[in-house]
Amino acid sequence: MCGVSLNHCKFCNAAIEGELEKAIFKAGGIRDSNFGNLYKIGWARSSRTDKGVHSLATMISLKMEIPADAWEDDPNGITLANCVNSSLPENIRVFSILPSKKLVSFSYF
């Protein structure tokens, strides 16, 4: 892996964000018409890492296709996260998927 970035490098097959985008798409969280265009879904990240650098946690914000009642029985979004995790490599994990009422801007954190 080359860190959290969509830029592909000559030393790896895919970046972490690319793997995450594919897994969210497979779980039904991204429409066919929006897949491959992160701008359309408002994709933003809290930080990025370079090759060889690790991150304990990175927050991602995006507009997902999720039923409105998804959090009624699962307020922490663990079930949704596990659905995405089922399509991710073992070294990439989603811990939680939570709704946001506003556009998230990580420049304020």
For the chain, helix (H) and strand (E) counts, in that order, are: 2, 2
Which position among 50, 69, 73, 74 bears the catalytic label? Answer: 50
How many other CB atoms are there within 10 angstroms of residue 3's CB atom? 19
CATH class for the region spanning 1-109: alpha beta
What are the tens digits of pLDDT across the range 23-39?
A: 999 999 999 999 999 99
* Residue 50 designated active-site: yes
- For the question of whether the overall pTM of this predicted structure is more than 0.75, the answer is yes
Domain range summary for the chain, segments of one domain joined by + = 1-109
Which pair of tokens denotes residue 47?
A: 């930080």
Bridge partners for 44 per DSSP: 61
pLDDT tens, N- to C-terminus, the chain (109 residues): 344 444 444 334 358 889 999 999 999 999 999 999 999 999 888 887 777 777 778 888 899 999 889 999 999 999 999 999 999 999 899 999 998 877 666 665 4
Which pair of tokens denotes residue 5?
A: 């970035």
